[in-house]
Amino acid sequence: MFKVNYYICVSKPNKNIFNCIKSILKQTKQSKAEIYIIINSKKKILDKKNIIDLNKKNTKINFATEKKIGIPFARNKCLEIMKSTCSDFTCLIDDDGILPKTWLSNMFKALNQTNSDIITGPQISKTKNLYEVVLERHAKHNSKVNWAATNNVFMKSKIISNIKIKFDTELKNLGCDDQLFFSQLNLKGYKIYWNKYSPVFENRDQSKSNFSWFIKRNARFGSSTKIIYTKLYGPLNGIFYIIPKFSIEFLKSLYYLLLLPFNFKLNSLFFIQYFIRSFFTALSIFGIKIKEYKT
């Protein structure tokens, strides 16, 4: 029987964490498992006893604390734990994510079909909030991709023991440190594939998924570009990689601008998304960036 470890970072009180853990426990019939909850806060934000009470025969729930505030610090705490524990496979899930019952079994199927090192998949909003729908990432099933997001990752644990790469704390105010981390693994030859049959369903507080949040998130995505590309390819080559990225996103914005008459509400959001991304991608070249996360 395989050993599968799950890692969840929590930075604020979240009632959805119980549903997240329960959905993980439904996977553990197929494997032994440990769940690690990394608390990225100086305050008490979780009732640990209630969570520990969810323990099952083949599963143990553990807690760790990272007091340096910022998601890259919490994710680096995960890496420390991964290096000091034994498991066959490692999973990264957001604290508001819900795994369907077939998530793990479909991950194993994708692993066998692709002979990959890392598998990622979609994160889908349970509420079908239009802002979140537009932001959802899509790819062809079993296709190779360049990076993964920590909201839905299944990978061979031996990868972590073989690398010195960490989540970049320079991105603590922007996000996208997971994009950089997995892009670096990809450049080192680790294969990342997309599995559309293992989605994670996001149960976000909908009061925060509004137009302002949508604009800021896309602005952050563009603002992180220079840091990501220069870390991947070097200061000079990184700038040259930014130019085609800007061009593609700007052309996508024009494409959705032309589609406005066919579905104004949806296509206007796609237009805004790619225009904002291209605009802040261009600004990032000159070191101008938005900061949304507060430390």
- pTM given for the model: 0.94
DSSP notation for 91-114: EEE-TTEE--TTHHHHHHHHHHHH
Lowest mean pLDDT among 6-15, 21-30, 57-66, 149-158: 21-30
What is the pLDDT, as a whole number, of residue 204?
76
3 state SS of 41: coil
Q: What is the pLDDT of residues 56-99, one digit of tens each?
A: 777 899 999 999 999 999 999 999 999 999 999 999 999 999 99
- Which residues fall within 8 angstroms of residue 184, CB to CB, at 6 or more apart? 165, 231, 232
Can you tell me the mean pLDDT for 171-182?
Answer: 95
- Which residues fall within 8 angstroms of residue 74, CB to CB, at 6 or more apart? 9, 11, 38, 40, 66
CA pair distance 60, 13, nearest whole angstrom:
22
Contacts of 161-167 spanning 24+ positions with Cβ under 8 A: 161/82, 161/83, 163/188, 166/72, 166/76, 166/79, 167/71, 167/72, 167/75, 167/76, 167/79
Name the percent of the chain lying above pLDDT 90: 81
Three-state SS for 115-181 is CCCEEECCEEECCCCHHHHHHCCCCCCCCECCCCCCCEEEEECHHHHCCCCCCCHHHCCCCCHHHHH
What is the pLDDT, as a whole number, of residue 295?
41
- Cβ-based burial of 8 (10 A; exposed 0-12, middle 13-18, buried ≥19): buried
